[in-house]
Structure 1
Amino acid sequence: MTLDLETREQLVATIRRFVDERLLPAEAEVAESDSIPDLIVEEMKELGLFGLSIPEEFGGLGLTMSEEAALIFEIGRAAPAFRSLFATNVGIGSQGLVIDGTPEQKAQYLPRIASGELIGSFALTEPDVGSDAGSVRTTALRDGDSYILNGTKRYITNAPLAGLFTVMARTDPAQKGAQGVSAFAVEAGLPGLSTGRPEKKMGQQGAHVCDVIFENCRVPASALIGGVEGMGFKTAMKVLDKGRLHIAAACVGLAERIMDDMMDYAVTRKQFGKPIADFQMLQVMFADSRAEAYAARAMVEDAARRRDAGESVATLASCAKMFASEMVGRVADRNVQVHGGAGYIREYRAEQLFRDARLFRIYEGTTQIQQGIIARTMAAEARARLGL
């Protein structure tokens, strides 16, 4: 349901206050402890952040893509670990069920995902499977009224906390490529399902990833999302445009926050008798950052509106994700440079945000994957125009 303008503005303002008053002051603690305080997690649940995209009938806010992006612009201003905690519930950890789940699966899981009672996690990547997602090796073989899962998933976001895994597994070993892959809703705690130790990462401390291991893990046949084999990869593809726009919005929010930090430092730091903000060579970096962040915001907003209107936006989502994730990396790098020696010191946060920003160019499809998608679409359009 689309919110009226006043309600939307009130919701955005509420999230902005939450970011300013609760999240930003907690960033250093989260980075140091690699953990988000329980009280903040509860406050995030109360605000409905875990159910932004889940339909109202299942306890979520049921936001449109445009509305979700408006909130993620705000949440994105804080260290990415905060958003990461609920992002899988909003995106790839729930949307497979929202789009293709059976009525029973939706009723069983979506209310608990929306409330934050269940943390959803999306298990696709494997030790030898990353960008080539159609090469999944984890197997799910039918055995009576169950499936037996075997395999290892790697770098799975929120896996240490997850109560429900959306697992991509090959149900037809004879079928090569994506056609033999199915999606399962697998509850944590089942015999044969275990998680590895949380990885130590370059950045985004407080957001946890680890391996998920299946060793003769028996799941009921009712766990097959949609009740149809061979649809898992198609289900995953359906949610990617939404996830990529969400990531792009987060990149915009982080870039805008970094620019605030950069300018606050530049107008107060003096060299040669005047603020460094007055030096023309630095002004080039300020202007480039502002223009690029504005362009990325406009891309997200345009693609989100088009998606809400029912248009296919797969290519536009790839454009937005590619541009925004590369953009925030450049802005974060400029921020370190503007801070000079202070930019390399943890106290100033510039180095932490530089490391945090780096991951955006990798997950939900690397920059190179987005470039391939965009280029193939352009070639197909050209052939269609020429009748080839």
Structure 2
Amino acid sequence: MQIYKVGGAVRDRLLGLPVTDVDWVVVGATTEEMLAQGYRPVGADFPVFLHPRTGEEYALARTERKSGRGYGGFTFHASPDVTLEEDLIRRDLTINAMAEDEQHDLTDPYHGQRDLEERILRHVSPAFAEDPLRVLRVARFAARYAGLGFTVAPETLKLMRQLSESGELEALTAERSWKEISRALMEDQPQVFIQVLRDCGALNVLMPEVDALFGVPQPEAHHPEIDTGLHTLSVLEQSARHKQPLTVRWACLLHDLGKGLTPEEEWPRHIAHEHTGLKLIKAVNERFKAPKDCQELALLVGKYHTHGHRALELKASTLLELLQSFDVYRRPQRFEEFIVACEMDARGRKGLEQRSYPQADYLRGAANVARGVAVQPLLEKGFKGPELGEALKRERLKALKAYKENA
């Protein structure tokens, strides 16, 4: 039995990055031998075990063969005669197909270390094209390591394009896709993930609503970058630069989908794009079964982001309606995420990345004013039921009018 550290732990150590998760592969062992040493089985599809003390994953060396469509369409063979090289060749990228033993001696049959040094994301073998999920994984690695200068090898991008055109991407489950998308959006440069998907044709398959934004012009006075697709990438970039949570990043990606539906004769204006985009945002939300908080914020930002930009001009009654729509009394965090999504939208414009956004503090102040209206005095006056709700609304409106006058 020989045990090797494999994959990301080896890659990140060689890059000088912190190693978080460690995966191990075991060569020359049987399931019975692993169980006899106290390892606990967890793999339903292939033999994976948890170490009796550390809880880390140890997988028996295995080969795989394509047997059907999609991510799960594989048959696996694990036995003591499978070599380390045979196990490594089934992996996605050369930089993930390295192993090291306890003495840190490197096994690198597919030149992963060279590709690390040359900053290239390259597939290990033609079998790469058998797994459609790898299109998303490579785009995610591109987003993660873009800051280090990594790019996708042209021949790998070509394979990704073939996969995108084959219909295999459509066999991916919503859960698998969302897992990759959500992880990619939380990388340092999530806009690179979207760009790589677009470069290989996968964006048009997975999110045609986002792909349709590229080439759609906006008024140059408000959008010096002009192109709506480039604006979306910039907004996403700003959301990562400002360390925003997944909910905000997802909303930033989808906020302008309505502009893809504007008839060409109306360009570069996009009247009521906030309203027309809602059905598209809903469709993307449902396609990937995004978590409820991501779905809700994306729809609210899509509908109200122009309200956010015009906050200082809004009538007190409109401001109150906005606050009510977000239920700022019971869901203050959701309104805060809306505010920062609007700010990322304002900053995601060429040359305006450092602009101030006074609307943010104004909206926070308005929410505090509305929340500060006390219910008890109204109860003491005898208001109850629907009448109490209306009285509370009147008091909040009065408070917002005073806030607006003094702002």
Q: Under a length normalisation based on structure 2, what TM-score does the superposition of the two structures give? A: 0.28
Between the two structures, name the one with larger relative contact order (CA 8 Å, sep ≥ 6).
1
* Structure number with larger C-alpha Rg: 2
